[in-house]
Each structure stands twice: as structure tokens, then as C-alpha cells.
Structure 1
Amino acid sequence: MENDGDGGSRLSSVTLEQHETDLGPGVPPMLSTTPTEVVSLQFIDLLADITIPAHPAPARQFVVVLRGVIEAEDTSGQTRRLGPGDTAFAADIKGGHITRIVQPPARLLFAVLPDDAPDPA
């Protein structure tokens, strides 16, 4: 979710590049992204099948769905469903998006980036 330049929000896809990381002898390598500095982590539990009206993201942040299913809608009406393991990047701090809890309870992890950090590519 990013600002669309007109005060709204727009859904977009972000690909985080991964590289093979060696864990040691006899252990298969893992795929890892480059570490990213965050200023805070927050877990949110949304317990009911609700719709959160249009709101801007409070900060540029990764949103990781740990449980449940949510749906995000940008100002153009485009929607995207996210389930367990899915990650989104919310950067529409001047725009706004609608969030629906499609399959409660939902548990989300928010990882806020520093103000001067670049947006992920």
C-alpha cells in the first residue's frame, strides 16, 4: 500500500530479494533477506469479523499476517487478501485504505521502519 500522489492509496507488490545463507556444517542453507532496521514491533489481535474504515497507515511499516485472513482495499477499490505468512508493506501515510477481517481471529505483526529508511524495492 503506497500513496498514489493524489491523497489516496494504491496497492503494489514488493519483492524482497533473498540470498542463500550458510548455517554451518551439515545444515542445509536457508534463504534470507538483508536485515532491515526497525524502530518498533507491535502485535495486534483482531477478534471479530469487522471492517476498519478508510485510514492512513500510521507509519511506513511491514504488516505480517500470523493468523486469520484480512483484506486491504485501496482508494481505487482494488483489493488484496492476505493470509498466514503473507507480508504487505504499508506506506500510505497520507492516503488511506480499508481493512477487513475476513477470517477472525487475526493476529498481525507490524514492523515500523525508520523515517529515513528507503522503501523496499
Structure 2
Amino acid sequence: MTLQDPQNGQDNLAQILKEYGHAMIRVGQLEKELALANQHPQLQKQDDSPVKVQPQKEVMDLELKLQGREQELVALRLQLETTQAELTDTKNKLKLAAEGNYIRHRKNKEKRSGLKRLLMGRD
């Protein structure tokens, strides 16, 4: 898995959410149109086939697109969680490394001062 720029990931997520919102609005509009068409059967008698089939096809297409966007959103959330876990792990490793360096530095300093005392004859 590659690491992405967090800002780029947020921009992608914002774009997906925006498209998701537009798709939901369009689905709602098409559902209202279908409901109105079903309430007024006399309006359907005029050239029935193109009017009825087209909105249903659009609704189905939008629902498929919406499902794809939802799957993409889930994948992005998973990627975000994975990246956050990797970041936390890296922070912990750096913290442990810094602590190890500090301890090693203290031990070396103590060894040198003891060695100095022995060499200088102070004991």
C-alpha cells in the first residue's frame, strides 16, 4: 500500500462525498417524478414508453453509481485507518529509538567518567 498525501486523500474524500450528495438528490428527484407519474395515469397515456422507461433506467444507473461510490468511500476509510495506524506505529518506533539513544548515551557517559577516574587516579 502506498502512502498518499493526507490533503490529497481529504480532497478525494470531499469530492466523493459531494458526488454522493448530488447523486442522492438526483435519485430523490427521479423518485418524485416516478411517484407523480404513478399518481396520474392519464398523463402516462401520452407516449408512455420513453417517459416511463427513461426515469427508471436513470434511477437504476444512479443507484449502481451510488453503490460504487459507497464502496470507494469504504475503501478510502479503510486506507485512512491503515495510514493512521502506520503513523502511530512509526511514532512509537521513533519514541522508542529516542529513548534507546538516550539510555545508551547515559551509559556511555557513565562508562567514560568511570574510566576517566581510573585513568586519572581518582577513586
Q: Classify the TM-score, shorter chain.
A: under 0.3
TM norm structure 2: 0.18
By relative contact order (CA 8 Å, sep 6+), the higher-ranking structure is 1
Determine which structure has the larger helix proportion and give its number: 2
Determine which structure has the larger strand proportion and give its number: 1
